[in-house]
């Protein structure tokens, strides 16, 4: 009798521990318990034996887990299992443009700024640096026994959604509006993040948010994005396919529904496409609390009655990991017959494989990444790389000849709400750094000691001053150059709940710059007279810059340029670097040129389907130099299925400055049987040319590049004529109006 009572007491204690753990995970998204658990020597289970295969080790571990333990290991913050020597682990970490939310790290320019470089090799170098720092930080935390959220090696980056509409506040997290550009940069980022070791992942990357996800932010937990098969396969899915081909370890399903099914229970997207057609064998995870949206009746999809039903639905939909607490109800779901323990095991098996590939159950020192030292974090090399990315991402939109500035003029005036603002260096999903260089600091450092420099804020970010006196704008009248740092920050655009000054949950339903900034720029212009004004614009999305273009002598769009942003802007302002960034997204003149925000059809959107002249076209960006393109040399005027041809063109730097040109290849189908893009980006190369020098640039044209996507979503090859363009911008006529070089053109025939 006493023995039975003792056993019941033990069971109650264990049950209480499980319930407490579940409650802790559910109530606090960052609650990962600390533990002194060690996997060294004192534990000798087969799953710790690196000589066994990963499959054998995973099976051994699963066989030792209780049903409750399995459910807890399928949520983003996993508790320790002391009896097996397993410490806590949090799957939730961020690395969008540097290790995020986890202390000191190199802060690279926001993702959209990396997209503006049009440089996939640079993306690889950035991601390699990020994963080095990630391993170094993980190694340091492990030594201390820390297991906090944002301390693991599973990074929920990159974001390869298509920035289809400039109103989306999270578009800054993407590489722009073009599937090809997003694919090449995203795939390179994945390769850099995950490393090239045959046995171990340096870090695990994640493609998000799958799929057809780009606002509205306020409705994302309940919105149904309707996209036809042509748009799905031509625009929304190619980048995800490219990342699967690059062996991305994880895919995150989005909050919203797509074509009537929640993305995290979408049989077409997950089962038919991702797993069956593409052969994805990594783990699928939910966006955070997306499973709870299944059973939210007021602000969700309402497809389940409770957490147990929702959890069972997600597991049966091949979602291995729940960011959230809904999977805490899986034991109840098993008891009710909604899902089987074997079905749970199938998903846990996939999920645990990632941790084994990261070496988390291997002895210290067996992983080559265990030796990455702490001094790589924010190293001089990484800071130089952050500066390079910021330099190459800056897009010059206008220059009437005032740039580059001399650095020894008698007086400079730096002004504007973002000149001394650290927030505009960061964007969202950022890390922190002890040496953030604001634009004011960068300019101040770059000017001669003989020069004067004045700084005044001048105007606030998004509201008029309550003080009618203006002690700022007068400086423009007695300065040799005024540098007005305007634009927006993550206070006005970003994710739901993040943008504190946004009345529309982070989206930008007002396309204009805040009126007070335009009013201030007008006062500067009135005061400056003929003295030059350079507008430096910060932000992560297109905006109406018509008045800025009119009032300023030069306009630089610098995105959210990272920790070295101030130095990079100064490098361009003073001619240390010629600007070479290109717009990865079209800037319309106004929102009137676009379809409704919640319309996911691509008709009238992006450079591919927009027939009206934009303010600034996709691929556009000016240089301090000028480039000319010779006649395009095509290896053959015809191409047959299964063959390829080469095209080449001589690019010449006709100007006075050494500079980089971003050569872009576009193809237009002249005889398609269905609606097709006006033209499509199919290649890009950066070329550094000294003043007066030339270089021959080569591209391969394959039949796959000539395929179209028909109305059923199938890629097909139709015979006929195709026009090929090579140049420093897209073929939109607006590019030439703004000063872009004339493109080289040729026509080939597919036989």
SS3 assignment, position 681: strand
Size of the chain, expressed as the number of residues it contains: 751
How far, in Å, CA of 458 to CA of 415, rounded? Answer: 6
Name the E strands within 417-467. 452-456
Which position among 68, 178, 493, 669 bears the catalytic label?
A: 493
Q: Is 245 a catalytic residue?
A: no
Q: Compute how many other C-beta atoms are within 10 angstroms of the C-beta atom of residue 723.
A: 15
Burial 355-393 (b: 16+ CB within 10 A, else e): bbbbbbbbeeeebebbebeeebbbbeebbebbbbbbbbb
Choose among 220, 250, 240: nearest CA to 91: 250
Choose among 407, 468, 402, 461: nearest CA to 622: 402
Cβ pair 420, 162 in contact under 8 A? no
Joined tokens for residue 671:
């005889």
Choose among 89, 78, 94: nearest CA to 21: 78
Which position among 287, 293, 495, 507 bears the catalytic label?
A: 287
* Cis preceding linkage at 158, omega within 30: yes
Q: Compute how many other C-beta atoms are within 10 angstroms of the C-beta atom of residue 714.
A: 12
* Cα–Cα separations (whole angstroms), residue 440 to 25, 106, 161, 449, 568: 43, 20, 33, 15, 12
- How far, rounded to the nearest angstrom, does the alpha carbon of residue 668 sit from its chain's CA centroid? 28
How far, in Å, CA of 459 to CA of 244, rounded? Answer: 47
How far, in Å, CA of 552 to CA of 403, rounded? Answer: 12
Q: Is 493 a catalytic residue?
A: yes
Cβ pair 681, 667 in contact under 8 A? no
Choose among 451, 452, 455: nearest CA to 438: 455
Characterize the bridge pairing of strands 261-262 and 257-258. antiparallel
How far, in Å, CA of 523 to CA of 525, rounded? Answer: 5
How far, in Å, CA of 359 to CA of 748, rounded? Answer: 51
Characterize the bridge pairing of strands 744-750 and 638-639. parallel
Cβ pair 588, 614 in contact under 8 A? yes
SS3 assignment, position 645: strand
> What order of strands is seen across the sheet that includes strand 250-253?
206-210, 250-253, 283-286
Choose among 663, 680, 684, 557: nearest CA to 607: 680
Characterize the bridge pairing of strands 554-559 and 659-669. unpaired
- How far, rounded to the nearest angstrom, does the alpha carbon of residue 466 sit from its chain's CA centroid? 38
How far, in Å, CA of 245 to CA of 630, rounded? Answer: 36
Q: Which residues pair with 700 in a beta bridge?
A: 646
SS3 assignment, position 598: coil
SS3 assignment, position 24: helix
Q: Which residues contact 135 (CB under 8 A, 6 or more apart)?
A: 153, 202, 203, 369, 370, 372
Write the DSSP string, 144-196.
Answer: HT---TT-SSBB---B------TT-GGGGGSS-S-HHHHHHHHHHHHHHHH--
Residues with catalytic roles? 287, 493
């Amino acid at each position: 009798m006493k023995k039975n009572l003792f056993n019941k007491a033990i069971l109650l204690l264990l049950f209480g521990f499980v319930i407490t753990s579940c409650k802790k995970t559910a109530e606090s998204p960052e609650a990962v318990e600390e533990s002194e658990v060690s996997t060294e020597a004192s534990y000798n289970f087969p799953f710790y034996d690196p000589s066994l295969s990963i499959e054998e080790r995973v099976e051994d571990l699963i066989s030792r887990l209780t049903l409750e333990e399995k459910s807890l290991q399928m949520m983003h913050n996993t508790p320790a299992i002391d009896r097996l020597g397993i410490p806590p682990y949090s799957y939730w970490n961020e690395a969008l443009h540097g290790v995020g939310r986890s202390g000191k790290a190199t802060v690279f320019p926001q993702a959209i700024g990396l997209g503006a470089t049009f440089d996939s090799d640079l993306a690889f170098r950035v991601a390699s640096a990020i994963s080095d720092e990630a391993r170094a930080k993980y190694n340091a935390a492990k030594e201390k026994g820390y297991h906090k959220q944002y301390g693991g090696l599973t990074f929920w980056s990159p974001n390869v959604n298509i920035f289809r509409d400039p109103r989306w506040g999270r578009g800054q997290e993407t590489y722009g509006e073009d599937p090809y550009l997003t694919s090449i940069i995203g795939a390179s980022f994945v390769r850099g993040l995950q490393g090239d070791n045959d046995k171990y992942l340096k870090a695990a990357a994640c493609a998000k948010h799958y799929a057809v996800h780009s606002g509205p932010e306020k409705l994302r937990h309940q919105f149904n994005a309707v996209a036809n098969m042509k748009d799905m396969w031509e625009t929304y899915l190619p980048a995800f396919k490219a990342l699967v081909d690059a062996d991305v370890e994880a895919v995150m399903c989005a909050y919203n529904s797509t074509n009537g099914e929640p993305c995290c229970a979408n049989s077409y997207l997950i089962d038919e496409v991702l797993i069956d057609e593409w052969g994805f064998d990594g783990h699928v995870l939910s966006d955070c609390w997306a499973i709870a949206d299944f059973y939210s009746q007021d602000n969700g999809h309402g497809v389940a009655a409770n957490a147990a039903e929702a959890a069972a639905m997600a597991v049966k939909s091949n979602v291995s990991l729940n960011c959230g607490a809904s999977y805490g109800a899986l034991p109840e779901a098993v008891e009710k017959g909604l899902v089987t323990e074997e079905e749970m095991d199938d998903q846990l098996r996939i999920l645990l494989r990632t941790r084994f590939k990261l070496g988390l159950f291997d002895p210290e020192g067996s992983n080559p990444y265990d030796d990455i030292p702490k001094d790589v974090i924010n190293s001089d090399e990484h800071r130089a790389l952050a500066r390079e990315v910021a330099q190459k991402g800056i897009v010059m939109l206008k220059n009437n000849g005032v740039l580059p500035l001399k650095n020894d003029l008698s007086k400079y005036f730096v002004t504007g709400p973002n000149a001394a603002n650290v927030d505009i260096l960061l964007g969202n999903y950022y890390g922190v750094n002890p040496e953030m260089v604001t634009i004011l600091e960068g300019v101040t450092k770059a000017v001669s000691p003989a020069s004067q420099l004045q700084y005044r804020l001048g105007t606030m970010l998004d509201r008029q001053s309550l003080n009618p006196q203006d002690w700022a704008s007068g400086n423009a009248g007695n300065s040799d150059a005024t540098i007005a740092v305007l634009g927006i920050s993550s206070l006005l655009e970003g994710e739901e709940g993040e943008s504190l000054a946004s009345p529309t949950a982070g989206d930008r339903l007002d396309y204009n710059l805040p009126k007070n900034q335009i009013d201030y720029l007008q006062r500067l212009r009135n005061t400056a007279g003929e003295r030059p004004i350079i507008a430096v614009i910060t932000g992560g999305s297109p905006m109406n810059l018509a008045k800025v273009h009119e009032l300023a002598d030069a306009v630089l769009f610098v995105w959210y340029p990272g920790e070295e942003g101030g130095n990079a802007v100064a490098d361009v302002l003073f001619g240390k670097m010629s600007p070479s960034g290109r717009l990865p997204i079209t800037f319309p003149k106004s929102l009137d040129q676009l379809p409704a925000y919640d319309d996911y059809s691509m008709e009238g959107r992006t450079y591919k389907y927009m027939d009206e002249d934009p303010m600034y076209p996709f691929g556009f960006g000016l240089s301090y130099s000028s480039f000319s393109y010779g006649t395009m040399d095509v290896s053959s005027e015809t191409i047959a299925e299964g063959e390829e041809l080469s095209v080449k063109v001589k690019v010449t730097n006709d100007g006075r400055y050494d500079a980089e040109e971003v050569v872009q290849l576009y193809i237009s189908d002249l005889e398609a049987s269905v609606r097709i893009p006006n033209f499509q980006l199919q290649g890009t190369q950066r070329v550094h040319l000294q003043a007066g020098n030339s270089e021959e640039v080569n591209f391969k044209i394959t039949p796959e590049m000539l395929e179209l996507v028909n109305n059923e979503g199938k890629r097909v090859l139709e015979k006929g004529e195709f026009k090929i363009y090579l140049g420093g911008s897209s073929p939109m006529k607006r590019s030439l109006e703004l000063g872009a070089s004339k493109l080289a053109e040729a026509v080939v025939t597919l036989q």
